[in-house]
Structure 1
Amino acid sequence: MTIDYDVVIIGGSLAGRYAALTASQLRAKVALVEPTTNGAFNFVNAPYEFISHHALSHISNLAKQLGDAAQIGLHTSCADNSEKCQISVDIPQAMLYAHGVVSNLQEQHSPAVIAAQGVDVILGNGQFESSPHLSFAVNERTLRARNYLLATGSRPAIPEIEGLQRTGFLTIPQIWQARSRSTPPLQWVIIGGIPQSIELAQTLVRFGYDVTLVVEHPNILPDVDSEIAQLLCSQLEAEGVRVFTNTRVTQVRQIEDKKWLQVGDKAIETDEIVVARAQQPNIESLNLAAVDVKWNQRRLLVNDKLQTTNKRIWACGDVIGGYEFVNIAHYEARVALQNALFFPRLKVNYRHIPWAVFTNPMFAQVGLTEAQAKRGYSPDEVIVLRQFFKTLSAAQIRDETTGMCKLIVLRNGEILGASLFGAEAGELINVVAMAIAQKIKVNRLADLAPLCPSFSEIFEQAALSWSQQKLSRNLAWQECLESFFDFRRNSKF
């Protein structure tokens, strides 16, 4: 069989484009298959939805900051300075700003730019063929490669709730389109506990909407440190979001011009419903069954080398499950490509890969939580270091004192994980991620000598706290030894 490419990447996501460029830089002969919708190239939508959302979230944060400034006398555009200034946001203008951000990024990753890097970009919908040899058929072409990489992304999974389909709902990519209606929704109910649903709830409430968030899990997010999750939940509630945790929506009905939801034992009225739950992979049209690739409702099945049940087909990004995080998808793409193009020896290790919820303040996490660490190690070996943002001069200056840094370490100083909730958490978490990846112990964080004032000082404080605890433990141990020997000396035996 003639091999046309080293790797064929079936894309439709940012991870696919990143993988194609990475493979090209590794001097591989690579093809990128980009799907189309109704015959048109679908470059504008799914891959950049999260960028558009973050841009709108940034505007809502600025509006809140201006409102806070007005209340302390720093904003003087009110007709009467004795009045409380009301900061409103022009949603169409905000949408134009978000569209501009997306357009700038699209130019950097356009098909022309990717093709200029030596990637054979093919626009069209195709499927795998197993006979006479494994190949991928698209646009009446048969692409043959040593290996294939699936990076097709995912889409929202719709829950089976009585009356939901009949009543109607939106998914996160559709919400801002609702603003173009003649009577845009003022009340929103968001179903689901994923990072994007939490970010959306805060953004909408800061734009002045009435927002309810319904989460099935006991915490606002699963697998999150419960102490930090409570802080995040309290922040949303303080801003006006009604949060229902450990609660299910059992029924949806349309009554006149309103939608009604049965949320636990309460009936809630709303203008619009947003479904923001787990994703399901975009794989239906790929004919995977014919090439022995297995999957379930939520993800493609892969091993720890990101190889599917067909040893020549690999996968990365949210098509293999998990939250939609670009940094994680890029990490998986690098591992999968190294294994597909060279000797397959690399295994994914998510212990040092951070992730975040882009609220304000931000939540970020890497490694193990306190509960996970105490399940995996002896509880006596696990030490929890807490430092609060209110102790930082930078936080006081910027009036961003809400938050906490929680480091999980072993007695020998090895860092197992960290959870941060506060200003600059998205940048601070990278320091801990690097420390975990490089096996840097917590006491070395005291050697950073961070700028003052800066939020990085919180690590220096955490390292000093660990040293103090270690000294206290050593003193306690010495006292125990001294007591023991005193007893032996004074004993008749």
Structure 2
Amino acid sequence: MSVPFDLVVIGGGSGGLTVAAGAAQLGAKVALIDKHRLGGDCLWYGCVPSKALIHRSRVAHEVRRSRPEGTDPDFSGALAHVHKAIQTIEPHDSPERFRRLGVEVLFGKGKFIDPRTFRLDGRDLRARAFCIATGSRPRIPPIPGLVQTGFITNEEVFALKTCPRRLAVLGGGPIGLELGQALHRLGAEVTILQRGATLLPREDPRAAQLVHTALEAEGIAVKTSTAVDRVTSENGEKILHTRKGRFVVDEILVAVGRQPNVEGLGLEQAGVVYSDKGIQVNPYLATTNPKIFACGDVTGGYLFTHVAGYEGTIVIRNALLGLFKGKADYRVIPWTTFTGPELARVGLTEPEAKERYGKDLMVLEQPFARVDRAVAEEAETGFIKVLSLRNGTIVGVHIVGAQAGELLHEWVLAMKQDLKVAAVAGSMHVYPTLALGNQQASGLLAKQKFLAGPLPGILEGLFAQLRGLS
């Protein structure tokens, strides 16, 4: 039986679009399938709209800071900006663009009927290789009464007509904190309910605590170690019942995690092993069926758009270019939580690094309060923390403060290219910039090693003798 396609891509989000575009530009015959529209969660419900909303909420916050008499936040204007941003970026992910690249773009629901065939609305698609990139969706916790009472997720928040007067956010991770703070800055009274003991539990503990403190300073109520037992409604209000009391709100935003979209794909018929945590892949991103690859959120790995795009490039190599296969490299994975202040990280946390390296670890920390540009912009909250070995090897970086996500990339490059702390310390940085804080932090390694060695005492004695001779 003939194989009409070189590659069939299932899922039109970041990972799938990367695979389809790259494969087509290499000359492969590609089909790209999505249930509804291209762009995925990132374009419609995630990265693009959330950052547009955060931008407008930050502007409103800064206006109120500079004009204490106050101005009413413009929620409708903020939502208009969100949709304008989506409309501006959407053509890059449009079916027309991919068809111009030579990709056959198909919409509908389908599933594998055997290890080499994907059936879409009665049409059987066969290919030399397949890529599953169906992404993930919000995980809905099994709280009694939640579904009956009603709630929103990141998939509905950008369709709101008005800002909720009182909002409960379930979850203290990046999505909950980003959207909760943005909506608070746009007029909502926000309560964050976190089941765990801390917000942002994957982050550096001190950095996460600084974000926690900043949220409370803005007037957001943060309740940690608070599990919701049930939800009820009364007189149009939604009531969350916890062991710490009742919380009465007008809307509930659920942001307790993600779950991979693996249902209904016929993975059993395809010979692809999966679980509720995602599709099982090897270091080459091949599934248990060597002709089927997977990338992005559906694998249950790092749930970031930039990781999905990176994995897409690995799939292209391994699915189409058999002589040039390569493994996915997760040694240097950066990410940022876009709260105010931002929190960005790459590599190990301080507790992880201490456990692994012990006394060989050097902690280099530069407060934003000692970075002149931060002082000039009233952005003194935060710090740059570099985790280095005594030989200068960088094992982790954590930045909490203004523009943390932008400042991180200098360290990402250094770690990826195996550069030492001295490479950053020895590079000229523009004054006055926030990036100068990176150089200042890196310079602390030499200073700490110098002060801990014998040379300061030797020099002190030498200078004493020279003063005696003068």
Contact 1:352–1:434 (Cα < 8 Å) also in 2: no
Aligned partner of 1:128: which letter? F
**Matched ranges for 1:381-396 at <5 A:** 381-396=360-375
SS in 2 for 1:112: helix
For the pair 1:424 / 2:403, whether they are aligned, the reply is yes
* C-alpha RMSD over aligned residues: 2.0
For the pair 1:48 / 2:30, whether they are aligned, the reply is no
1:271-317: per-residue Cα shift (whole Å, max 9, x none)? 11111122112222211111121222232222222222222211111
Specify the alignment match of 2:327 in structure 1: 347
Q: Report the alpha carbon displacement of residue 477 of structure 1 after superposing the two structures with TM.
A: 12
For the pair 1:161 / 2:158, whether they are aligned, the reply is no
Contact 1:308–1:315 (Cα < 8 Å) also in 2: yes
Aligned partner of 2:140: which letter? I
Residues 431 and 43 (structure 1), Cα distance of their counterparts in 2 relative to 1, 3 Å cut: closer
Aligned partner of 2:127: which letter? A
Q: Report the alpha carbon displacement of residue 14 of structure 1 after superposing the two structures with TM.
A: 2.7
Give structure 2 stretches of 5+ with no counterpart. Answer: 459-470
Q: Report the alpha carbon displacement of residue 438 of structure 1 after superposing the two structures with TM.
A: 0.2
**Matched ranges for 1:279-428 at <5 A:** 279-322=258-301, 324-343=303-322, 345-375=325-355, 377-428=356-407
C-alpha distance in 1 between matches for 2:272 and 2:40: 29
Residues 476 and 128 (structure 1), Cα distance of their counterparts in 2 relative to 1, 3 Å cut: farther
SS in 2 for 1:217: coil
Q: Report the alpha carbon displacement of residue 379 of structure 1 after superposing the two structures with TM.
A: 1.0
Specify the alignment match of 2:24 in structure 1: 24
C-alpha distance in 1 between matches for 2:40 and 2:202: 32
Specify the alignment match of 1:7 in structure 2: 7
Contact 2:13–2:38 (Cα < 8 Å) also in 1: no
C-alpha distance in 2 between matches for 1:306 and 1:363: 29
Contact 1:12–1:47 (Cα < 8 Å) also in 2: no
Specify the alignment match of 1:188 in structure 2: 167
C-alpha distance in 1 between matches for 2:441 and 2:77: 43
For the pair 1:179 / 2:161, whether they are aligned, the reply is yes
Residues 321 and 332 (structure 1), Cα distance of their counterparts in 2 relative to 1, 3 Å cut: same
Specify the alignment match of 1:170 in structure 2: 152
Aligned partner of 1:57: which letter? I
Aligned partner of 2:44: which letter? Y
Aligned partner of 2:365: which letter? R
Residues 476 and 246 (structure 1), Cα distance of their counterparts in 2 relative to 1, 3 Å cut: farther
Q: Report the alpha carbon displacement of residue 478 of structure 1 after superposing the two structures with TM.
A: 9.8
1:313-368: per-residue Cα shift (whole Å, max 9, x none)? 11111112256421111111112222222237422232312111111221111111
TM norm structure 2: 0.92
Aligned residues: 456
Moved over 4 A (4+): 41-46, 476-479
Contact 1:351–1:368 (Cα < 8 Å) also in 2: no
1:242-263: per-residue Cα shift (whole Å, max 9, x none)? 1122321112111222211123
Q: Report the alpha carbon displacement of residue 9 of structure 1 after superposing the two structures with TM.
A: 0.6
TM norm structure 1: 0.88
C-alpha distance in 1 between matches for 2:22 and 2:177: 32
From 109, 118, 132, the counterpart of 1:136: 118
Q: Report the alpha carbon displacement of residue 190 of structure 1 after superposing the two structures with TM.
A: 0.7
Specify the alignment match of 1:100 in structure 2: 84
From 240, 243, 263, the counterpart of 2:222: 243
From 98, 115, 127, the counterpart of 1:114: 98
Q: Report the alpha carbon displacement of residue 96 of structure 1 after superposing the two structures with TM.
A: 1.6
Contact 2:429–2:435 (Cα < 8 Å) also in 1: yes
C-alpha distance in 2 between matches for 1:185 and 1:9: 39
Which is worse superposed, 393-402 or 335-344?
Answer: 335-344
1:395-443: per-residue Cα shift (whole Å, max 9, x none)? 1111111111111111111001111111111111111111010000001
SS in 2 for 1:173: coil
Residues 222 and 156 (structure 1), Cα distance of their counterparts in 2 relative to 1, 3 Å cut: same
Residues 277 and 407 (structure 1), Cα distance of their counterparts in 2 relative to 1, 3 Å cut: same
Contact 1:179–1:185 (Cα < 8 Å) also in 2: no
Q: Report the alpha carbon displacement of residue 116 of structure 1 after superposing the two structures with TM.
A: 0.5
SS in 2 for 1:363: strand
Aligned partner of 2:121: which letter? N
